[in-house]
Structures are given as C-alpha cells and as structure tokens.
C-alpha cells in the first residue's frame, strides 16, 4: 500500500489509483496538524473538489495523507476505525459529535480568524456563515470574550439593518 504525504498547495500532484478496485482513505489536517476530516473515495481529486466547493472547513486544509486500500470493504472499515479512534473535527457520522457542536470553542477562534481575518463580525454572521446554532453561538462568543480571544469593537448595522455588537477575533502569538 502506498501512503502519500503532500502539501495541498503542490501543483499538479494527483494521487494515482494503483488498481481498479482500490479505494482511497484520506485525512485532511490544518496547519497545526489538527485532524479535520477522514473520508474514502474512488477518485480523490473529484471528491476533494466537492469538499472545496461545499465545506466551510475546506480553507483550513493545509495537508493531506492518502492511503490506497485494495477494496471498498477494507476502506470502509479503516474509515470507521479512524473516525472512532482519531475523532476528526468535522466528521459527524461515527464520531459521536452532536449536530450543534461542529465548532468546539477551542477551534472556533481559529476558524473565525481564518474566515474573517481582522474584519468585524457579529454573532449572526457566525450563525449564518458557520451554521452554529443561535444559543451555541451566543455562549461561545461569550466564552471567547472571557478568554480574551474575541474583542468587542462596537456596534454597527448588521444584516438586519439594526445596530448590533461586532467583534474581532484577536491574533494569538
């Protein structure tokens, strides 16, 4: 079995399928080595293109690991085992993560920095852009304010046209 390690930025790197029955088991990691997602597929580039166009976490992907397995059955078992034991941040199935907690507070700061940079955002932005349930978003913002990772910048007009509190995710040294 071939294991491939590469930066996603490497141009032209296409993982080659060793045989017609082989299935890829892949892992995506962020720049800090946090495991974001584990999946399987027959055609990695086509599958990853779907992730890129539809997953909010995709911009966080910094590198991947790919392992070709000789059959779908082996790949499905390996995927299940990896998700259960390694607990990737964005795998919902088999991971035991409640739907309302896709963005644990420990990772939310990082995602907001990547999504908004130094731009301002409000709680409604987190709800609509990241899909965080309203009550969860309010509590997580409060917790990140208490930790000094978010800063209240003031009020400005929100999407609703009302003045709402806006925040900035502060950089961490």
Last residue of a domain, one of 70, 96, 122: 96
Same domain, 136 and 109: yes
129 and 55 in a common domain: no
Cα separation, 158 vs 140, whole angstroms:
19
Q: Of 41, 67, 96, which closes a domain? A: 96
CA-CA-CA-CA torsion for 129, 97, 37, 33, nearest 10 degrees?
Answer: 90
Token pair, residue 148, equals: 């000094």
> Do residue 92 and residue 121 come from a single domain?
no
Give per-residue pLDDT as tens, 118-142.
Answer: 999 988 888 777 777 777 888 889 9
CATH number of 56's domain? 3.40.1440.10
Cα–Cα distance measured from residue 148 to residue 141, given in angstroms and rounded to the nearest whole number? 11
Strand partners, 24: 41, 68
Q: Name the domain boundary from 41, 66, 96.
A: 96
Q: Mark whether 69 and 87 lie in a shared domain.
A: yes
CATH value at residue 137: 1.10.10.10
Residues 28 and 89 in one domain: yes
Q: Are residues 37 and 70 in the same domain?
A: yes
Q: What pLDDT is attached to residue 98?
A: 54
CA distances from 115 to 6, 57, 66, 152 (A): 24, 9, 26, 17
What tens digit of pLDDT does each residue of 140-168 get?
899 999 999 999 998 887 667 788 899 99
Domain that holds residue 53: 3-96
Q: pTM score > 0.75 for this model?
A: no
Strand, coil or helix: what is 38?
strand
d(CA 55, CA 102): 12
Tally the domains of the chain: 2
In angstroms, the CA 74 to CA 128 distance is 38
């Amino acid at each position: 079995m071939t294991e491939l390690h590469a930066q996603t930025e490497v141009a032209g790197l296409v993982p080659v399928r060793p045989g017609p029955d082989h299935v890829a088991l892949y892992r995506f990691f962020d720049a800090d080595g946090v495991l974001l997602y584990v999946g399987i597929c027959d055609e990695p580039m086509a599958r990853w293109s779907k992730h890129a166009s539809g997953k909010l976490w995709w911009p966080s992907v910094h590198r991947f690991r790919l392992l070709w397995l000789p059959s779908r059955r082996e790949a499905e078992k390996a995927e299940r085992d990896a998700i259960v034991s390694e607990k990737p941040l964005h795998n919902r199935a088999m991971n035991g993560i409640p739907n309302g907690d896709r963005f644990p507070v420990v990772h939310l700061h990082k995602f907001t920095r990547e999504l908004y940079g130094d731009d301002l955002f409000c709680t409604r932005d987190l709800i609509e852009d990241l899909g965080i349930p309203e009550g969860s978003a309010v509590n997580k913002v409060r917790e990140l304010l208490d930790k000094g990772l978010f800063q209240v910048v003031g009020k400005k007009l929100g999407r609703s046209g009302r003045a709402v509190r806006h925040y900035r995710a502060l950089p961490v040294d």
